[in-house]
């Protein structure tokens, strides 16, 4: 009898140890076998892409049994051309781009929110040049604002000005698509203000520019996303699921200990020299997609600007089916 009880205890202990091992190793839920497909994802060298390099360095993709190929791009136009040509499976982008792709017929779906504005970590800031003399939104009437037209940057600009009661029509928008050029023109005094993403916005402030307004109190307006082609979603759903799971694990570690990844960030992400030590590594989103209210507001803005004839369906462009869970 004692030997039977002893064997039973050993069996239970083995089961408990195995369960603990599996729970402590979430990638085991995918099994040992790797998926054969390689996902090609277009990304700009911006802070929003940083978790990719963490997942790569820490072996998260390998553990999840998925092969990922980063396709570096230097502009949104280059990224969109690759996606349109079917040369990449997915891309890091935002809602206005998704709507442009799906204007006539559904081509892509948003599958994951990468980052939104946060109280301590704004995504976009409207800053005034050091010698502009502009200090607040009240000073902006007639001032030139460097933006990129018909993009998320112009959308955020309009919405932020609306929150302060200043219609964008009262400003003098200048279309400067290349963000580094926009930064240079601002610092040289050739434009009064500019809307910049971090870390360039932080670099401008550190060099004497004045903060006018940012999106830190309005996370509903700013979001970077992962968007994948419907072809990839249909043909390689398992690879996509594993990629997002690996990404999410990297984000969890980054959010828990951002400073431990500063050295890697400086190697992989373009951070201006004057803020390399001080730039706060932002928090990244987990397990979410844009909600219907966010999508609807972007659609309304695009229709008002004549970029769409009518709002596009949320369900046609956004799916939560691949969220990895927490």
**pLDDT per position as a tens digit, 110-148:** 999 999 999 899 999 999 999 999 999 999 989 999 999
What's the rounded mean pLDDT across residues 76-101?
Answer: 95
Q: What is the CATH number of the domain that holds 160?
A: 3.40.190.10
> What pLDDT sits at residue 9?
53
pLDDT at 34: 78
Residues 128, 210 share a domain: yes
Q: How far apart are CA 201 and CA 209, in angstroms?
A: 9
CA–CA separation, 263 and 277 (whole Å): 10
How far apart, in Å, are the Cα atoms of 134 and each of 156, 168, 259?
20, 16, 34
How far, in Å, CA of 95 to CA of 222, rounded? 9
In this structure, the strands spanning 223-229 and 90-93 are antiparallel
Higher local confidence (pLDDT), 10 or 265: 265
Give Cα 42 to chain centroid, integer Å: 12
What does DSSP say about strands 193-197 and 172-175: parallel, antiparallel, or unpaired?
Answer: unpaired
CA distance 319 to 207: 42
Residue-wise pLDDT tens digits, 61-86: 999 999 999 999 988 889 999 999 99
Q: Residue 98 domain-assigned?
A: yes
Does some domain include residue 71? yes
Task: Give mean pLDDT, residues 52-57.
Answer: 98
Q: Is residue 322 in a domain?
A: no
Number of domains in the chain: 3
Domain of residue 143 covers: 124-214
pLDDT of 21 > 50? The answer is: no
The per-residue pLDDT for 22 is 47
Q: Specify whether 74 is located in the same domain as 203.
A: no
Same domain, 38 and 185: no
Q: Are 161 and 219 in contact (CB under 8 A)?
A: no
CB 314 within 8 A of CB 295: yes
Q: So what's the pLDDT on residue 27? A: 53
């Amino acid at each position: 009898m004692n030997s039977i009880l002893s064997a039973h205890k050993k069996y239970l202990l083995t089961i408990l140890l195995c369960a603990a091992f599996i729970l402590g190793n979430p990638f085991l839920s995918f099994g040992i076998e790797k998926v054969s497909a390689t996902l090609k994802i277009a990304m700009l060298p911006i802070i929003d892409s940083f978790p990719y390099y963490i997942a790569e360095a820490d072996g998260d993709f390998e553990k999840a049994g998925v092969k990922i190929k980063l396709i570096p791009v230097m502009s949104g136009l280059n990224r969109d051309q690759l996606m349109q040509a079917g040369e990449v499976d997915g891309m890091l982008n935002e809602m206005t781009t998704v709507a442009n792709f799906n204007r006539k017929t559904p081509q892509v779906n948003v599958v994951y929110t990468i980052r939104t504005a946060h109280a301590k970590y704004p995504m976009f800031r409207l800053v005034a040049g050091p010698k502009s003399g502009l200090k607040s939104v009240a000073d902006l009437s007639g001032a030139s604002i460097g933006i990129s037209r018909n993009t998320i940057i112009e959308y955020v600009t309009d919405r932020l000005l609306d929150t302060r009661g200043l219609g964008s029509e009262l400003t003098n928008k200048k279309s400067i698509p290349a963000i580094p050029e926009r930064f240079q023109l601002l610092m040289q005094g050739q434009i009064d203000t500019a809307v910049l993403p971090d870390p360039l916005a932080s670099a401008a402030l550190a060099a004497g520019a004045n903060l006018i307004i940012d999106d830190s109190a309005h996370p509903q307006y700013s979001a970077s996303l992962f968007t994948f082609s419907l072809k990839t979603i249909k043909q390689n759903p398992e690879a996509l699921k594993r990629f997002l799971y690996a990404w999410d694990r990297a984000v969890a570690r980054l959010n828990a200990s951002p400073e431990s990844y500063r050295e890697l960030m400086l190697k992989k992400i373009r951070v201006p020299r004057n803020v390399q030590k001080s730039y706060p590594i932002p928090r990244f989103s987990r397990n979410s997609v844009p909600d219907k209210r966010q999508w609807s507001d972007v659609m309304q803005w695009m229709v008002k600007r004549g970029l769409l004839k009518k709002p596009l369906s949320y369900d046609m462009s956004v799916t939560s089916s691949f969220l990895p869970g927490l």
